[in-house]
Amino acid sequence: MKDAVVKYMRASAQPVLMVLGLGTFLAIMGPFGSDELGWPWVWVYWVGFITLGAGVGFSLGHVLPGWMPNAPEWSIYALVAAAVSLPVTFGVAFVNAGFALDFSAAELALTYFLVLFISSFATGVVYVVDKLTGPSHTAAAETDAPRAHPALLEKLPPRLQTATLWSMTAEDHYLRVRTDGGEALILMRLSDAVAACEALEGARTHRSWWVAREAVAEARKGDGRGVLILKDEIEAPVSRTYYSALRETGWF
């Protein structure tokens, strides 16, 4: 549990610093006349809106790759920038109107255009950071470690492509991939994903589950079946079909 918390905090540090950095930069620049708010309110104003945009962007960044598995990576970022600008536009217009709905369609359109410019800049920064911290820029010591096949890794968000794979669960036509850095929902069959993880020490535990050996924190035996408690506190079921093989290889 402690290791999971530490890894989560490390994974969260980068986006938090980016939000604070972009918010501070915009507070100094003071677009939309926000500099009239004065400090620290102009900083609160921009950090708040960047946080809102980051929350929407984070959610879409996990969902869109599953909806558009064949779309170029840059197009996902472009769509995120456009979508993030919608709630931020209404928020900016609402606050600038004195917390009232006293704005016209023309004002909204102009505000959206300006917000989209800022959102595109922010998304571009995220894109560059993701590229710089992606698989091709990992430490040399990590390159020798067993890794999943690119057929799986390339479907994950860049920030998860170097994370340690913990488990995979089939959900209809999608696959939920959990790592020590977070999780993502991608469009892929479990059987194909398991084949892509051939180099990793892991096993099927159920017809809809695959678990990495190092992700297991506790194993509970049952009557011909069992449950694996993972480091992220997720409970992976072990069906009768796979229980015997896992018991023979020391999982229980």
Band (70; pLDDT cuts 50, 70, 90): low
Residue 17 falls inside a structural domain: yes
CA gap 124, 130 in Å, rounded: 10
CA gap 227, 234 in Å, rounded: 10
pLDDT tens for 96-131 read 777 777 778 888 888 888 888 888 888 887 777 776
Question: Is 53 a residue whose pLDDT tops 50?
Answer: yes
Which structural domain range is residue 52 located in?
2-132
Residue 141 falls inside a structural domain: no
Give every strand in the sheet of 209-212, ordered side by side: 182-187, 174-179, 165-171, 209-212, 202-206
> Measuring CA to CA, how many Å separate 82 from each of 15, 45, 103, 118, 204?
19, 20, 21, 11, 40
Number of domains in the chain: 2
Residue 39 falls inside a structural domain: yes
- Rounded to an integer, the average pLDDT of 10-38 is 77
Residue 140 falls inside a structural domain: no
Mean pLDDT of the chain: 82
pTM (2 d.p.): 0.49
Answer whether the bond into residue 15 is a cis peptide, omega within 30°. no
Which CATH number is 189's domain given? 2.40.50.1020
Residue 143 falls inside a structural domain: no
More confident residue, 32 or 89: 89
Q: What pLDDT does 137 receive? A: 42
- Rounded to an integer, the average pLDDT of 212-216 is 93
Q: Among residues 132, 159, 182, which one ends one of the domains?
A: 132
Q: What pLDDT does 2 receive? A: 53
Residue (of 183, 186, 54) closest to 129 by Cα position: 54
Q: Verify that 86 and 126 share a domain, yes or no.
A: yes
Residue type, 185: L
Band (50; pLDDT cuts 50, 70, 90): confident
CA gap 97, 87 in Å, rounded: 15
Residue 162 falls inside a structural domain: yes
